[in-house]
Amino acid sequence: MRRTPALIVGGGPAGATAALLLARARAPHLLIERSAETGDALCGGFLSWRTLETLSAIGIRPSALNRDHIRRLRLFAGQRKAEAWLPRPAIAVSRWRLDTLLLEHAITAGAVVERGVAVRGVEGLTVRLADESEIAADALFLTTGKHDVRGLARPVERDDDPALGLRVRLGPSDALDRMVGGTIELHLFDRGYAGLARQEDGTVNCCMAVHRSRLTEAGSPDALLDRLGRESPRLGDRLAYRANSTAIDAVANVPYGWRATDTAPGLFRLGDQAACIPSLAGEGMGIAIESGLRAANAYLRGGPEAAIAYQQRLARDLARPFAVAGTIRAAAERPLWASALTWAVRLTPQIAGIVARLTRVTHMPLDA
Q: Give tens-digit pLDDT for 121-158.
A: 999 999 999 999 999 999 999 999 988 999 999 988 88
For the cut 60, the answer to whether the pLDDT of residue 368 exceeds it is no
Q: CA-CA-CA-CA torsion for 342, 346, 348, 350, nearest 10 degrees?
A: 80
For the cut 90, the answer to whether the pLDDT of residue 159 exceeds it is no
Q: Give tens-digit pLDDT for 41-94.
A: 999 999 999 999 999 999 999 999 999 999 999 999 998 999 999 999 999 999
**What is this structure's pTM?**
0.95
At residue 330, the pLDDT reads 96
* 231 part of a folded domain: no
* 86 part of a folded domain: yes
With beta carbons less than 8 A apart as the criterion, state whether 351 and 307 touch: no
Side-chain half-sphere CA neighbours of 328 within 13 A: 26
At residue 367, the pLDDT reads 56
At residue 246, the pLDDT reads 81
* 238 part of a folded domain: no
pLDDT higher at 246 or 139: 139
At residue 354, the pLDDT reads 94
Return the H-helix or E-strand segment holding 328: helix 307-332
For the cut 80, the answer to whether the pLDDT of residue 194 exceeds it is yes
Q: Give tens-digit pLDDT for 85-126.
A: 999 999 999 999 999 999 999 999 999 999 999 999 999 999
At residue 243, the pLDDT reads 80
Task: Specify the number of domains making up the chain.
Answer: 1
* 62 part of a folded domain: yes
**Nearest to residue 105, comparing CAs of 24, 8, 5, 6?**
24
Long-range CB contact pairs, 355-360, < 8 A, 24+:
355/324, 355/328, 356/48, 356/73, 356/86, 356/87, 356/282, 357/87, 358/320, 358/321, 358/324, 359/277, 359/281, 359/282, 359/283, 359/321, 359/324, 359/325, 359/328, 360/48, 360/50, 360/283, 360/286, 360/321
Full domain range(s) for residue 76: 2-157+255-358
Q: Report the helix count and the strand count for the chain, using DSSP H and E.
A: 12, 17
At residue 37, the pLDDT reads 92
Using the CB atoms, write b or e for 220-229: b if 16+ within 10 Å. ebeebbebbb
At residue 92, the pLDDT reads 97
Q: Give tens-digit pLDDT for 280-338.
A: 999 999 999 999 999 999 999 999 999 999 999 999 999 999 999 999 999 999 999 99
Beta-strand pair 113-115/30-33: parallel
Residue 20 — pLDDT band, cuts 50, 70, 90?
very high
At residue 71, the pLDDT reads 97
Q: Residues with Cβ < 8 Å from 147, sequence gap 6 or more? A: none
* 113 part of a folded domain: yes
For the cut 90, the answer to whether the pLDDT of residue 244 exceeds it is no
DSSP per position, 222-274: HHHHHHHHHHSHHHHHHHTTS-TT---EEEEEE-TTEE-----TTEEE-GGGT
Cα 75 from chain centroid?
20
Q: In CATH, what number is assigned to the domain containing residue 22?
A: 3.50.50.60
* 327 part of a folded domain: yes
* 29 part of a folded domain: yes
At residue 131, the pLDDT reads 92
* 134 part of a folded domain: yes
At residue 156, the pLDDT reads 84
Q: Give tens-digit pLDDT for 252-279.
A: 999 999 999 999 999 999 999 999 999 9
Average pLDDT on 20-34 reads 98
